[in-house]
Structure 1
């Protein structure tokens, strides 16, 4: 009875979780994280067991919780106690490990909470009157939910987690680590494109490990935004990881590098602009390139930049539009997601140009 009351008391659960997250983020080590992952997995299994859902759904959820605990433990063993170049990257590893404690709750929300009304078993009377169309609709809902669990399993694979977190030490959210990655040849191409009366917004679904993990929380297919001064994307730039060639921050991009999975795709839109407005953006990009930049990894969670040129991709694109007074929706730059550029275009400022499929 005590366990049931604890599981059902959401307020107590939330308070306990926040205290736990802060504590382990500051002082946790790999063994402690492993114990917490498995304890929380057991807690979520008990929680799922009390739900009024079909046995197949319960079984799938329980297996998902156990798989997550295995993957979380692998991450903790390989990242939390691994050698770090400074205390900041060590703290970031613990912060991410603490955030991963909440992954079972994300599974619950995706598979159960968001579809709770669809998964309750009907009464005998309701079953007698239920239509064939309703049965088909419920079958499709369950099928999509099971596919969602499969996507979580694929996204949180050992290879994806290892690739993502082996890259953490290259980032900094407090100092500039990238400067001069854009060459004089690049800015010559920009100058040649100023006569083009458009600036181009590129929204992409690259399939990178980091992008796939982000998509679990945003529930969006497209999770990267870039800016180009020309329609052929010869001048495409964004804030990114530098493809392990340049430090994370403001870098030129190659469309070919977006092809990291079979169904990767790129959407290209254009926004009418004047030569003077494009010149303002060009000058701002040059200033960032000269002063320095870094990828705002921590800002993905905190929505705050420690220094002006520390940004993430959609934050950068929005700020560049705002510099030239081309912004067409109002939102704090730290809250802007790549899909906002399309979804919040209420006044139809953008023109769709083309889609690239690989």
Structure 2
């Protein structure tokens, strides 16, 4: 039996390897056919696996079907956009995404998870009132999570996220000069302010909410400001379709993308020389060029020095000035780390802005 299973998986990997070679050089139809073929194989396997309970089978069938829908949207909106502006990196990402359903299938096959099993009649008779109340709370939380999940993966959100991917670049600088002389003049005027300001925000943008599913954090964006009036906010972002993704100026109004969006403002004591060093580094990045490190959200690394994501940028600026108050590799820093890892209370809370 074990030999049959091993041959079965070998056949799967050989089939997938062949598909991978094809899809890297294929067109939209071939990508969708490959994803559909994989989903169909896995669904048929689930249906014929006798050791799986009906509840687990149903969950896996829905999962594989939903994965196929998301992949189809991704291929249509990002990998092969209507304007014909294709990017090799997106084709590679699309190919990398194909084995994910196989990975899930392997994990389930090995663990034979019992989390989907219904309790026996004997177990049901021993459930206490406290347990019923606890289960009711869990059910309520699960329903809320399901609603949030449905919102994040709504068609509009997915179209916006995938439709924006072709604007990004992982290997070259595409943003240059987004900060004008007016910005640097305002920032220079605030050098005598003995603080640098950290803005941790919960904007409610589709990308922010998608990131939140993985980080399990409410706040998923970090920015810096040189002045207390927040006229010099700067970070790495998608550019709001005004600038290319990378180093860009920000305004508070742009953080208001949902009804319960909010912004936490902290300040960190810093010398004039340290603040000037951060400003000089930002000016150098602005002159040299930058890009948003979208691939680094997964790999935690940058291909080039000026390709970063928001929290990576904020941490590196603090590191350059010698005021980073916790130790972590920049690519692994999350926006909430600036608050949660402030063990020695270096930050001073300023205010919270609710829109």
* Shift of residue 144, structure 1, vs aligned partner: 2.6
State the superposition RMSD in angstroms. Answer: 3.8
- Give the match for residue 167 of structure 2: 170
- Give the match for residue 134 of structure 1: 131
* Shift of residue 22, structure 1, vs aligned partner: 5.9
The 5-angstrom pairing of residues 1-358 of structure 1 reads: 23=21, 26-42=24-40, 43=42, 47=46, 55=55, 62-63=61-62, 65-82=64-81, 89-98=86-95, 100-101=97-98, 120-358=117-355
* Shift of residue 45, structure 1, vs aligned partner: 8.3
- Secondary structure in 1 matching 2:326: coil
Q: 2 CA distance for matches of 1:348 and 1:105?
A: 45
Q: 1:335 to 1:84 in 2, by over 3 A?
A: farther
Q: 2 CA distance for matches of 1:350 and 1:18?
A: 50
* Shift of residue 60, structure 1, vs aligned partner: 6.4
* Shift of residue 126, structure 1, vs aligned partner: 3.3
Q: 2 CA distance for matches of 1:163 and 1:73?
A: 14
**8 Å contact 1:65–1:104 — kept in the other structure?**
yes
- Deviation by residue 1:97-152 (Cα, 9 ceiling, x = unmatched): 345547769999xxxxxxx7876533444333322121222233233334333333
- Secondary structure in 2 matching 1:351: strand
Q: 2 CA distance for matches of 1:13 and 1:144?
A: 41
Q: 1:220 to 1:54 in 2, by over 3 A?
A: farther
Tell me the TM-score normalised to structure 2 length: 0.82
* Bigger mean CA offset, 89-98 vs 172-181: 89-98
Count of equivalent residues: 349
* Shift of residue 174, structure 1, vs aligned partner: 1.9
Tell me the TM-score normalised to structure 1 length: 0.81
Q: 2 CA distance for matches of 1:76 and 1:157?
A: 16
* Shift of residue 231, structure 1, vs aligned partner: 2.2
Q: 1:85 to 1:273 in 2, by over 3 A?
A: farther
- Secondary structure in 1 matching 2:87: helix
- Secondary structure in 1 matching 2:196: strand
**8 Å contact 2:222–2:335 — kept in the other structure?**
yes
- Deviation by residue 1:25-44 (Cα, 9 ceiling, x = unmatched): 73353223323433444526
Q: 1:107 to 1:5 in 2, by over 3 A?
A: closer
Structure 1: runs of 5+ lacking an equivalent: 109-115
Structure 2: runs of 5+ lacking an equivalent: 106-112
Q: 1:69 to 1:85 in 2, by over 3 A?
A: closer
**8 Å contact 1:44–1:104 — kept in the other structure?**
no
Q: 1:16 to 1:119 in 2, by over 3 A?
A: same
* Bigger mean CA offset, 15-24 vs 346-355: 15-24
Q: 2 CA distance for matches of 1:20 and 1:337?
A: 37
* Bigger mean CA offset, 294-303 vs 234-243: 294-303
Q: 1 CA distance for matches of 2:11 and 2:229?
A: 52
Q: 1:79 to 1:291 in 2, by over 3 A?
A: closer
